[in-house]
Structure 1
Amino acid sequence: MLHCVKLVLCLTFLSCEAHVIRSKDSADASNVFGLTGLAKNNATDATFMQGDIAMPKQDGRTAFIRSSKWPDGTVPVEFDSSYSTAQKNIIIGAMSEITKNTNNCIRFVWRTTNHPVWLRIFPGQGCWSYMGKAMQKGPQDLSLQIPGCVHHQVALHEFIHALGFVHEQTRPDRDQYVRIQTQNIVSGQDHNFDVFSRTDTNMLGLPYDFGSIMHYRSDAFSSNGRPTIVPTTSVGKSWESRMGRGEKMSALDIQKLKKYYSCS
């Protein structure tokens, strides 16, 4: 039986409103995990923000939807039949880590006909998810390409997006902790390093987390192999080679997700 699960990131959206955002990946989006052998992220009915966050296309315009929580922390799921038992177990392991670390506050359950919205985990093009509960009815896609995206840490990262969190380095106070090396970013990909305004985000009163499972790698979207994100604090400098490379949630990830979902 599928175990309950939960995870966290520092930045979450406050309500369920649509806002036009500045230009995104107009076509395919590069994966943000530094993995080889992956197709670029693509979905016919969505565009992408920050590389792996899918956003519905509305009236031909790109817009982001501030994320909505899954009611009672319960997330119905179903697997595409293409996954092997071993692959399913890897993905279930990520869900179980979330559930265990949130004391069963966030639970993943098998989808039934009583669930109006559910996560459809399928081997699409690349590794990506919508943010929070983005649909009103029907399946909400979460793509884990076979075999490149079927890793514990990748599944964990995408499930946290699905729970309502974006990337750590998009916090409005980001520039107090890291410096973005724009000269090393692939041309046309600088929008992936935008920060959100304080009116659009809730940092939950918790500090910046260099070790978050939701942080970009130091070489994310690099055009030349050199760092695109450089920590500027004494604590941060010790994380430079490890940012975005963790295999499990950080203590702050857990704390933030529990706080967002009002877990005890």
Structure 2
Amino acid sequence: MMFQYVKLLLYSIFLSCKVYAIPLEDSGDALNLFGLEGLSENYAIGATFIEGDIAVPLKAGRAVYIRSPKWPNGIVPFDIHASYTNDQKSVIRGAMSEIMKSTNNCIRFVERNSSTSVWLRIIPSRGCWSYMGRAKSSGPQDLSLQPTGCVYHQVALHELMHALGFIHEQTRPDRNQYVRIQTENIQSGNEHNFNIFPSTSVSTLNRPYDYGSIMHYRSDAFSSNGLPTIKVITDTDKDWESKMGRGMNLSDQDVEKLKAYYSCS
């Protein structure tokens, strides 16, 4: 049987339930993207990472085929680990609430019950990471928010967006028209985190490049020397350099992409 490559929704989305092959270049633990204090390297049992915080199941150590469909009808059952404090739970629920309100409840996070077959299990593991889309066929699908370092509104939003099916903004095929990757400043061995997907495999949903996306890397992501690894190259957008990856909320384009992907009215 031949595997069909799934189209990745660029703005960070997988377009269907078909299969997409991803080369695994991270091994084991992965560096965090968020530049926050107190973070451990990302770690997941039975998985490795691409682009720093996207967990993918281990498969023969070389490549993995993953399925990343949407959550049916935009409904995401979830539970939050009991060890989080009430304040931390409030932060996580606040991120969920922003997504729900922004989409007029077209996307909904609901407490799982005994009949739930697949649910998002938010756990206090090592680091900040998530699987892509609805990646499991049964049981819990983990999303990690380390209590010291990850439980912030913007980080929870970013990881929930991965769980809804979105990849990082700067992987879109026209990326090089808007930013330049400063390879000389990237930590050795992390260059692959700046790969882009070809236009034959992804769709931009006809949305403009979004420097302000909650899914964009910081300008100093994976920097070896504190200097930028991502430089804005369009004169009209120079002010974005210090803001990329540092937003607190969904951008307008993030909301539009969510609505488009989940067919919200």
How does the TM-score come out when normalised to structure 1?
0.94
SS of the residue 2:253 aligns to: helix
Residues 1:227 and 2:228 are matched in the alignment:
yes
Question: RMSD over aligned Cα, in angstroms?
Answer: 1.5
Deviation by residue 1:205-249 (Cα, 9 ceiling, x = unmatched): 111000000000000000000000001112331100000000001
User: C-alpha separation between the residues in 1 aligned to 2:12 and 2:21?
Assistant: 19
Structure 1 residue runs of 5 or longer lacking an equivalent are 1-7
Letter in 1 for 2:93: I
User: C-alpha separation between the residues in 2 aligned to 1:167 and 1:142?
Assistant: 16
User: C-alpha separation between the residues in 1 aligned to 2:98 and 2:114?
Assistant: 26
Residues 1:82 and 2:87 are matched in the alignment:
no
How far 1:60 moved relative to its partner? 4.2
Letter in 2 for 1:226: L
How does the TM-score come out when normalised to structure 2?
0.93
**CA, structure 1 residues 66+190, in 2 after alignment: closer, same or farther (shift >3 Å)?**
farther
Letter in 2 for 1:252: Q
User: C-alpha separation between the residues in 1 aligned to 2:94 and 2:244?
Assistant: 22
How far 1:147 moved relative to its partner? 2.1
- Count of residue correspondences: 257
User: C-alpha separation between the residues in 2 aligned to 1:163 and 1:18?
Assistant: 17
Structure 2 residue runs of 5 or longer lacking an equivalent are 1-8
2:204 match: 203
1:137 match: 138
2:105 match: 104
Letter in 1 for 2:255: I
8 A Cα contact 1:211 1:244, kept in partner: yes
**CA, structure 1 residues 64+149, in 2 after alignment: closer, same or farther (shift >3 Å)?**
farther
User: C-alpha separation between the residues in 2 aligned to 1:67 and 1:23?
Assistant: 16
8 A Cα contact 1:217 1:244, kept in partner: yes
**CA, structure 1 residues 259+19, in 2 after alignment: closer, same or farther (shift >3 Å)?**
closer
Query: Hey, which bits of structure 1, 4+ residues long, moved more than 4 A?
Result: none
Residues 1:254 and 2:255 are matched in the alignment:
yes
1:30 match: 31
Aligned identity (percent) is: 62
When structure 1 is superposed on structure 2, of 46-55 and 233-242 the one drifting more is 233-242
1:57 match: 58
How far 1:66 moved relative to its partner? 5.0
Letter in 2 for 1:230: K
8 A Cα contact 1:93 1:152, kept in partner: yes
Letter in 2 for 1:46: A
SS of the residue 1:21 aligns to: strand
1:192 match: 193
**CA, structure 1 residues 191+24, in 2 after alignment: closer, same or farther (shift >3 Å)?**
same
Letter in 2 for 1:183: E
1:3 match: none
Residues 1:182 and 2:186 are matched in the alignment:
no
User: C-alpha separation between the residues in 1 aligned to 2:10 and 2:109?
Assistant: 18
How far 1:198 moved relative to its partner? 1.8
1:119 match: 120
8 A Cα contact 1:20 1:61, kept in partner: no
Deviation by residue 1:169-223 (Cα, 9 ceiling, x = unmatched): 0001101100000000000000100001223222111110000000000000000
